[in-house]
Structure 1
Amino acid sequence: MTSAAAPLACVIIDDNEINRFTLERAVQRHDQLTLAASFPDAVEALTYLHAGGKVDVLLLDIEMPHITGLELVKLLPEPKPAVILVTTHASFAVDAFELRVLDYLVKPVSYARFCQAIARVTEQQPAMPAPAAAPSSPAAPVDISATGTDLFVKTNGKLLRINFEDVLFIEALSTYVVLVTNKHKHVVGGTLKSIEERLPFRHFVRVHRSYIVNLHRVEALEDNMLKLGQYEVPVSRPYQDDLVQRLQAL
């Protein structure tokens, strides 16, 4: 007699507490799943995954702060788990399937539809490589090279030309940095310190342990908050005096 297959380790990432709880209950009811971890934030989840955290199935919300679900899929370490996206909007379906996710669930998700998605995972399980735990490694330095006001930044496995005059600020997120413009967010592997050391532009200034700002795009400073387009960035006390002097010198 053959033994039953081991339950699949499931990880949930959803910033909405009620949605996350609903998915947790669905996982706990399913006899082929075990809940390995549940996160309200994609950044916390990335730390877990890059540290070799166990995951066979990833239930992933799309619309989240800092890093969206679609951005996170591109950052998943190899071997990638089976990804099931869960969202309130069907409009993301085209983008989702371009990323080769296994299924796409629209909230509110019925338990029957949830089971159907898990059945697709188990059908493909023999062909899926088992994820292996691996020790976390230091973040690689940010790969950048400069041409005038442009930098070629390595993101999602390719070199992308970014005009840094369009960059409002750079934000640290765990072992990643996010280059924020008015229209885009570019997620790059590395640390804020590594990109700060390689930036050739003097008008990019550290104002907080988690932020570097483009002084040319600062619109106002009020109550220790910088206004840059649609965003506000905090200024911590150790950087205040230098920042004011730099702004006055512009």
Structure 2
Amino acid sequence: MLTCAIIDDDEINRLTLEHYIELAPHLKLEASLADGIAGLTFFREGNKVDVLFLDIEMPHLSGLELLRVLTDPPEVIITTSRQDFAVDAFELRVTDYLVKPFDFARFSQAVQRVQSRQVAAVPAPPPAAESPANTDLFVKVNSRMVRINFDDVLYVEALSDYVNIVTAKHKYIVYTTLKALETRLSTFPNFIRVHRSYLLNTQHIESIEDNMANLRGGHFVPIGKSYQDGFYKSLQRI
């Protein structure tokens, strides 16, 4: 719904515009005023509309003079019997310029331009926040499929053809290799290889001493010599 105002000193023209607005279901008339002074008062009293249908030649204050005075005019559709004001009007950034007499089809076309400009002016919605990454994985433990939230995993230890997945409360022996699991966890930024036999979840580190990571719950994981440079560099980003 677009709110509208008419400012025109010709009563017949005002009645015509009022009728056209009544025919358009998406338009609502807020004011129909007979001269520019009344229009200036209307806006200075804080009234706002989406569309202003504005005549140019009016006593005391012309339509173009009114536009120059208004600090924040709405979308303006000029309605005039004169064609020679078009350049001046478009310099004032009017939306359309209707030369009287005009029919309802031409009126509707001008309103459509207002709608198109308003749609273009609406800012794009901000990008939706990314959903938190799903940190759950199913692993096969004996004959069961167990869901493990890998945010809770302290570390993973290689056991030949198996791995030991350790949380604060449980240990899961899973038939896979450490290399395969490391590849699977490549999208989990907190996991890092710290030893040929260990993957470590850095968010559970409480302290590091003598190349030994002390984890929550009294667990310790060694930091292998060949992994130390990469490991300590990663800590700078925590």
TM-score relative to the length of structure 2? 0.50
Greater relative CO (CA pairs within 8 A, separation 6+): 1
Larger radius of gyration: 2
TM-score relative to the length of structure 1? 0.47
